[in-house]
């Protein structure tokens, strides 16, 4: 005798269909699971035995073999408990019918309660692509799974709800499709509270508009963290596709809130300088996404940049450049996207006052150099906008005029991003920071005097080709914020002013 039900496996972000086949033959009672199961899948035997016992079902009376196909792919995790049990129940005639368009996903507790699994949305999307129309899974995964369009999702608390429903058609109802409302400005601190700091705010607006990496350097108390904390309040809206991508990564990491399962605003991940490279870029034997991937489509914030282990910072280079990270393991390699805007903050020296006109730096020249050199040139090269943050001037504080609100800034950022979306339609490019060298000349059309200014800066400042491209991309964003098709002289001048740190601090 033989039975078959559908399920879905997961490795990293990669979800793939799995067919669970069960057969029983005469002989000494035994229960085997084959088809490259890992330890967690092997352990499901004990859980399934317990659940069948609880339900009073004698389905393991002969030689029972369960095969997870395709046998060539490793099966990891506890999501096969439910489909294996369903295959056995089908085999034993406890449930009847055809389940060709149905998939089962879920872990079982010993009493038959269904426990949620990580990566539900990705698994249901993969099921949809493979002709599945109906999915049964744990109730805590149902809302997240319902985001997949056109799928009939049934969330259950206990396995008997599923068997009752399959026998009698009662007890369960399809989960209504979850479409969250936009919650963009919720809980974010506002730029209206930040007096002065006009230059810094302009730089942050530009970074947000083009998704450019940003470095803020300044003495302690100058407001770097205060400014960084407000960046989420001006980021462009996350699109539905981006929301799905980011949610899938958070789901794989087990970071989804079952009642609000979709990530509906761009993530802002603040990472401590004690982070390991695995914590930052991902890893582990079953590779988990790191902070840089959890920040996908949003902001990765690194405070106290020189305090990070230099080797850890170096691991960021490739992912920042490619917008994607590949983690290779014996069991296979996993790709996690990481298209982020990196925001970093740092003091200029150990005491913090190097370059501060108001306080004296007590560090030796050697200490200052050693501190700055913790950030390597290749890492600096990947930061389009680098600005100095000064303590607020007394006059700005005394003014007491309310500063511009985040909502007003966000509106300009959104307009600039809409222009970019239109320009890069049909390509992989989402923002100006990702302009590739083959199209840079085409999309960055300079007005004649802007071209001259850039050439003069190139000669005078001895810019590298890479720095030249970066200034050009930032100029493009300045022009988009201005609603200008051509890049004008004022845009180039602004972009150059966002690159002054290199010369003042690193290349003194
Ligand atoms: Zn100092």
Domain ranges, ordered by start, for the chain: 2-168, 191-431
Q: What is the mean pLDDT of residues 93-112?
A: 94
May I ask the CATH class of domain 2-168? alpha beta
Q: What is the mean pLDDT of residues 434-463?
A: 91
- Counted residue by residue, the chain has a size of 508
Backbone angles phi, psi at 195, to 5 degrees: -75, 145
CB 287 within 8 A of CB 12: yes
Check: CATH 1.10.150.120 for 191-431? no
pLDDT at residue 179 in the model: 84
Cα gap 496→209, rounded to integer Å: 17
Q: Do domains 2-168 and 191-431 have the same CATH topology?
A: no
Cα gap 328→306, rounded to integer Å: 28
pLDDT per position as a tens digit, 175-229: 999 988 765 556 789 999 898 899 999 999 999 999 999 999 999 989 999 999 9
pLDDT at residue 195 in the model: 86
| d(CA 500, ligand 1 centre) in Å | 19
Q: Compute the C-alpha angle 83/84/87, nearest 5°.
A: 85
The mean of the pLDDT values for the chain is 92
| d(CA 303, ligand 1 centre) in Å | 18
Q: Which of 127, 136, 45 is nearest to 95 (CA)?
A: 136
| d(CA 506, ligand 1 centre) in Å | 15
Name, in order, each residue with C-beta under 8 angstroms of 374's C-beta and a sequence gap of 6 or more.
305, 306, 308, 310, 313
| d(CA 360, ligand 1 centre) in Å | 8
pLDDT at residue 182 in the model: 64
| CA-to-CA separations, 306 to 293, 384, 463, in angstroms, rounded | 22, 18, 24
Q: What is the mean pLDDT of residues 477-486?
A: 97
Cα gap 12→410, rounded to integer Å: 34
pLDDT per position as a tens digit, 297-334: 999 999 999 999 999 999 999 999 999 999 988 778 89
DSSP output for 426-439 = TSS--SGGG--TTT
Q: Is the pLDDT of residue 336 over 60?
A: yes
Q: Is the pLDDT of residue 422 over 60?
A: yes
Range in 8-12, 37-41, 80-84, 110-114 the model is least confident about:
37-41
Range in 131-135, 348-352, 360-364, 503-507 the model is least confident about:
503-507
In what side-by-side order are the strands of the sheet with 341-346? Answer: 268-271, 299-302, 341-346, 214-217, 385-388
| d(CA 54, ligand 1 centre) in Å | 69
Q: Compute the C-alpha angle 400/405/409, nearest 5°.
A: 130
Q: What is the mean pLDDT of residues 103-125?
A: 96
Confidence band for 481, pLDDT divided at 50, 70 and 90: very high
- The pTM (predicted TM-score) of the whole model is 0.92
| Percent share of the chain, pLDDT over 90 | 77
| d(CA 305, ligand 1 centre) in Å | 16
Q: In terms of DSSP H, where are the helices of 156-214? A: 159-168, 198-210
Q: Is the pLDDT of residue 296 over 90?
A: yes
Q: Compute the C-alpha angle 379/246/311, nearest 5°.
A: 25
Any bridge partners for residue 158, and if so which? 113
Confidence band for 285, pLDDT divided at 50, 70 and 90: confident
Confidence band for 42, pLDDT divided at 50, 70 and 90: confident
Confidence band for 352, pLDDT divided at 50, 70 and 90: very high
Backbone angles phi, psi at 277, to 5 degrees: -65, -35
pLDDT at residue 331 in the model: 74
pLDDT at residue 129 in the model: 96
| d(CA 308, ligand 1 centre) in Å | 18
Q: Is the pLDDT of residue 344 over 60?
A: yes
Cα gap 269→500, rounded to integer Å: 27
Q: What is the mean pLDDT of residues 439-446?
A: 94
DSSP output for 237-281 = PPPHHHHHHHHHHHHHTT--BTTB-S--S--EEEE-TT--HHHHH
| d(CA 346, ligand 1 centre) in Å | 12
Burial of 63 (0-12, 13-18, 19+ CB in 10 A): middle
| d(CA 384, ligand 1 centre) in Å | 25
| d(CA 6, ligand 1 centre) in Å | 64
| d(CA 170, ligand 1 centre) in Å | 72
Q: What is the mean pLDDT of residues 152-162?
A: 97
């Amino acid at each position: 005798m033989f039975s078959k039900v559908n399920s879905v496996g997961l490795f990293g972000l990669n979800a793939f269909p799995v067919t669970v086949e069960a057969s029983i033959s005469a002989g000494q009672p035994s229960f085997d699971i084959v088809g490259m199961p890992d330890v967690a899948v092997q352990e499901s035997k004990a859980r399934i035995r317990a659940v069948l016992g609880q339900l009073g079902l004698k389905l393991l009376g002969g030689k029972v073999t369960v095969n997870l196909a395709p046998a060539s792919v490793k099966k990891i995790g506890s999501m096969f408990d439910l489909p294996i049990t369903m295959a056995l129940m089908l085999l034993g005639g406890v449930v009847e019918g055809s389940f060709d368009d149905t998939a089962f996903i879920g872990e079982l507790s010993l009493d038959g309660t269904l426990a949620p699994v990580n990566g539900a949305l990705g698994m249901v999307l993969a099921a949809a692509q493979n002709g599945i129309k109906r999915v049964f899974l744990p109730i805590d995964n149902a809302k997240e799974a319902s985001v997949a369009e056109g799928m009939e999702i049934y969330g259950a608390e206990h396995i008997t709800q599923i068997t009752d429903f399959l026998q009698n058609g009662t007890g369960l109802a399809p989960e209504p499709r979850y479409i969250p409302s936009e919650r963009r400005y919720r809980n974010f601190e506002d730029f209206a509270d930040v007096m002065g700091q006009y230059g810094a705010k302009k730089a942050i607006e530009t970074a947000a508009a083009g998704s450019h990496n940003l470095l803020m350097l300044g003495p302690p108390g100058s407001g770097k963290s205060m400014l960084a904390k407000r960046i989420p309040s001006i980021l462009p809206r996350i699109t539905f596709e981006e929301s799905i991508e980011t949610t899938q990564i958070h789901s794989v990491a087990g970071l989804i809130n079952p009642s609000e399962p979709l990530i509906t605003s761009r993530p802002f991940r603040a990472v401590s300088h004690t982070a390991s490279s695995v914590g930052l870029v991902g890893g582990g034997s079953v590779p988990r996404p790191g902070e840089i991937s959890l920040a996908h489509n949003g902001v990765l914030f690194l405070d106290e940049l020189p305090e990070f282990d230099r080797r850890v910072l170096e691991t960021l280079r490739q992912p920042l450049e490619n917008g994607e990270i590949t983690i290779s393991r014996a069991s296979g390699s996993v790709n996690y996207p990481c298209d982020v805007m990196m925001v970093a903050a740092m003091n200029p020296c150990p005491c913090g006052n190097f370059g501060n006109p108001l306080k004296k730096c007590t560090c030796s020249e050697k200490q200052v150099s050693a501190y700055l050199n913790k950030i390597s040139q290749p890492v600096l090269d990947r930061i389009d906008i680098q600005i100095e943050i000064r303590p607020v001037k007394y006059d700005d504080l005394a003014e007491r005029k309310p500063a511009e609100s985040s909502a007003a800034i966000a509106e300009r950022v959104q307009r600039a991003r809409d222009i970019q979306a239109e320009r890069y339609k049909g390509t992989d490019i989402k923002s100006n920071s990702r302009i590739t060298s083959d199209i840079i000349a085409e999309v960055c059309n300079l007005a004649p005097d802007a071209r001259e200014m850039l050439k003069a800066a190139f000669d005078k400042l001895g810019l590298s080709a890479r720095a030249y491209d970066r200034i050009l991309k930032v100029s493009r964003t300045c022009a988009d914020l201005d609603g200008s098709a051509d890049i004008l002289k004022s845009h180039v001048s602004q972009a150059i002013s966002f690159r002054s740190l290199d010369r003042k601090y690193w290349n003194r």
